[in-house]
Amino acid sequence: MESDYIIEDTDIRRLIVKAVEARDMAYARYSQFKVGAALLAGRENSSYADEVVGRETDSRDRNVNEYRVFTGCNIENSSYGATICAERAAVCNAVSSGYKDFKAIAIVGGLNSTGINGITYPCGICRQVLSEFSADMYVIAARSEDDYDMRRLSEFLPASFGAGFIYKRKLLKRWDIDGYAHLNGILLGGA
């Protein structure tokens, strides 16, 4: 489902600045390629107000969503396959704090010796992990605050696999076993 969220210029800049800061934390012992990510994510209203950067309100002006920025850096491992990318580190941070409504992520990277000297696009695994939570979030691959390639995640990961496939198959499986009556029950009454 397309969301009607439109990112503002100040938020793009804020995310890029935070991603650059996060990149300093990278543990890139083996590749020397340091990556930083900053994820703007929301959760439903809660009693916490720390570091909240924005709010959505409903028609009666009640807070319905709070937003925060979560950062991540790449964390390499001597068993190379165990390496975690910056984007996924940011996702783990956000989801562990209850923020699953992803709006945008900024990514910066580059070899340690040369700094952020080119655009770093998210790898395939990270695109898939991000798409679990929002297919139309903004992905900002940045060189600097005013030099970036921003697109919707759906453009970076078209025709993707998602939760819908599994739900559909589960419904079909139950339909096989129990027949029309059960399927109708699920569709009308909820699973």
Q: Quick check: helix, strand or coil at residue 141?
A: strand
Per DSSP (E only), the strands in the chain are: 33-44, 54-57, 63-73, 101-111, 138-144, 147-152
Instruction: Give the residue with the Cβ less far from ligand THU, 33 or 175.
Output: 33
Please check whether residue 118 is in contact with residue 143, taking contact to mean a CB–CB distance below 8 angstroms. yes
Closer to ligand THU at the Cβ: 66 or 85?
A: 85
DSSP class of 78: S
Is residue 83 close enough to count as binding ligand THU by CB under 6 A? yes
Q: Is 87 a catalytic residue?
A: yes
Residue with tokens 């605050």: 145
Which one of the listed residues 44, 87, 132, 145 is annotated catalytic?
87
Name the one residue in this structure whose structure tokens are 């975690």: 84
Residues in region 34-73 near ligand THU by CB under 6 A = 35
The minimum distance between CB 62 and ligand THU, in angstroms, equals 37
Nearest CA to 142 among 179, 177, 117, 174?
Answer: 117
Residue among 19, 22, 28, 39 that touches ligand THU (CB under 6 A): 28
Cβ proximity to ligand THU, 14 vs 23, nearer residue: 23
Our CB check for ligand THU shows the closer of 66 and 126 to be: 126
Is 33 among the residues that bind ligand THU (CB under 6 A)?
yes
Assess 105 for contact with ligand THU (CB under 6 A). no
CA angle (139 as vertex; 85, 147 as ends), nearest 5: 100
From the CB of 169, what's the least distance to ligand THU, in Å?
Answer: 30
Pick the closest to residue 142 from 151, 133, 131 (CA basis).
Answer: 151
Give me the active site residues, please: 87
Residues that bind ligand THU (CB under 6 A): 28, 31, 33, 35, 74, 76, 83, 85-87, 122-123, 126
